[in-house]
Amino acid sequence: MALETTLILCKPDAVSRGLVGEIVGRIERRGYVITAMRMMQLTGDKAREHYAEHNGKPFFQGLVDFITSGPLVALAVEGEGAIEGMRQMIGATNPLTAAPGSIRGEFGQTIGLNLVHGSDSKGSAERELKIFFNANEFVSRKHDLAKWLAD
């Protein structure tokens, strides 16, 4: 497997329900590294850019309206096979059919209130990460613990 970075969004319903810590904890317990994180209120323009692949579909405006309805937390998550691994952790779009133990399976309410977004491919991850983060906002958390313990 390859080292990958993917975009994860804790959508406004996750923020309003106080589930961001739970989601971040699950990501870290799985062994992934958060290399960038930001709480923000998404603008309509950024939302339309993010959901550009759905432009023209009947549900497009609903996606834009919801993602801009409150603050969200954007995360850049790094790890071996992070794109597919995070998609498995997130679960199916419809919480009623999401795997037990997945974020959506445990906490999601409806297709529209499904708490999180995760990039679905390497190309999507690269495009989406640029929407939410500048290159200088990524940091590495990898460091030599042995060196610090020895000092």
Q: Which residue has the tokens 């999601």?
A: 108
Give pLDDT tens digits for 5-54. 999 999 999 999 999 999 999 999 999 999 999 999 999 999 999 999 99
Give pLDDT tens digits for 61-92. 999 999 999 999 999 999 999 999 999 999 99
Which of 6, 2, 1, 28 lies closest to 122, judged by CA? 6
Q: Per CATH, which fold does 3-150 belong to? A: Alpha-Beta Plaits (3.30.70)
Residue boundaries of the structural domains of the chain: 3-150
Active site residues: 117
Residue 107 near residue 30, CB atoms below 8 Å? no
pLDDT for 146 equals 59
Query: What is the layout of strands, in order, in the sheet containing 3-10?
Result: 33-40, 72-80, 3-10, 116-118
Give me the sign of the Cα torsion angle 55, 59, 61, 64. Answer: negative
pTM recorded for the entire structure: 0.91
